[in-house]
Amino acid sequence: MASWALELLGFSLSLLGLIGTLITTILPHWWRSAHVGTNILTAVAYVRGLWMECVWHSTGVFQCQAHRSQLALPADLRAARAMMVISCLLAVLAAGVAVLGMRCTRCAEGSPAKAAMACGGGAGLVTAGLLCLVPVAWSTSDVVVDFYNPTLPAGMKYEIGQALYLGFASSALTMLGGALLCASRLESEAPFRPHPEVGVLPSSGPPSASKGNHVPSLASACHSCYRLSDYV
C-alpha cells in the first residue's frame, strides 16, 4: 500500500513539474528591467524571454515582438531554447511511459515489463528535470553577474524574472516525482524473506516413544511380540 501511495505521489509531482516547465518555456518573463523617466507617462518595463520580448507602458499598453532573426540570437539563448524544448518533449514521453507502468493501469498487467516501464518513465522525468534546470540556472547566473558588473550601463541590466523562479520549482518537482516513481517500483520488487518459525517438529514415531526423552529398551520394544515356543 505504501508503494502505491508513493507511486501516485510521484506521478502527481511530475505532472505539476511538466505543466510548470511548459509555462516556463512559453512565458517571456525570463529577464525583466524597469526604467522610470522623469515623467511617469514615459515609464516603461521591459521583459524578455526565449521567444519574444515585451514592453509595458504606464498607460496600460502591452506590446510583444518575437525574435525575428534566429541566427542573430546569442548562442546561450539558442541553447536554452533547445534544452527547454527537449525537456518538455522528454517529460511528456516519460510521463506516458510511466502511466503504462503504473499499477492502476491494465496495460501489460502481470508482465515484468510493467515495472521496467515505470522505472524508465521515472528516469526520463529526472533527465527532463535536469534539462530544465541547466538553462534556468545558467540564465540566473548571467543576470546576477551582469547586474553587479560596474562597467555595464544601468540601462542594459536586467533582473531575475518570474519565469526563472517557476523554472526552478518545476525542475525540482519533475526530478522529485521521477525519483519517487523509481523508488516505488524498486521497493515493490524487493524480495520478501520470511523469518523462520522456531518450534518443535512433530514426531513421526509411535506415541509411546514421544512421551519420554529416553530411548525404549529392546525388551520393552518386543514386549508384545509372540514367542516362538507358542507355535510349537
DSSP secondary structure letters along 14-74:
HHHHHHHHHHHHH-STTEEEEE--SSGGG-EEEEE-SSEEEEEETTS-EEEEE---STTS-
Q: What is the mean pLDDT of the chain?
A: 79
Asked if residue 177 lies in contact with residue 125, where contact means CB atoms within 8 angstroms, the answer is yes
Segment 19-32, tens digit of pLDDT:
999 999 999 999 98
Q: What is the mean pLDDT of residues 69-75?
A: 82
List CB contacts of 157: < 8 A, sequence separation 6 or more.
33, 146, 147, 149
Which three cell numbers mark 62? 502591452
CA–CA gap between residue 48 and residue 113 (Å, rounded): 45
Which of these, 182, 178, 75, 100, lies nearest to 132 by C-alpha position? 178
For residue 115, pLDDT over 90 is answered with: no
In 10 A of CB 94, how many CB atoms? 25
CATH of 2-27+74-188, one of 3.40.50.10470, 1.10.287.130, 1.20.140.150, 3.40.50.2300: 1.20.140.150
**Given CA atoms 94, 98, 100, 104 in this order, what sign does their dihedral have?**
negative
Q: What is the mean pLDDT of residues 91-98?
A: 93
Segment 1-56, tens digit of pLDDT:
567 788 889 899 999 999 999 999 999 999 988 554 444 445 678 889 999 988 88
Residue at grid coordinates 505543466: 19
pTM for this one? 0.73
Which three cell numbers mark 167? 523554472
Our CA dihedral for 70, 75, 77, 78, rounded to 10 degrees, sits at: 50
Q: State the pLDDT at residue 103.
A: 78
Segment 163-202, tens digit of pLDDT:
999 999 999 999 999 999 888 877 655 444 444 554 444 5
Q: State the pLDDT at residue 187.
A: 62
Phi, psi of 225 (to 5 degrees): -80, 155
| Structural domain spans, the chain | 2-27+74-188
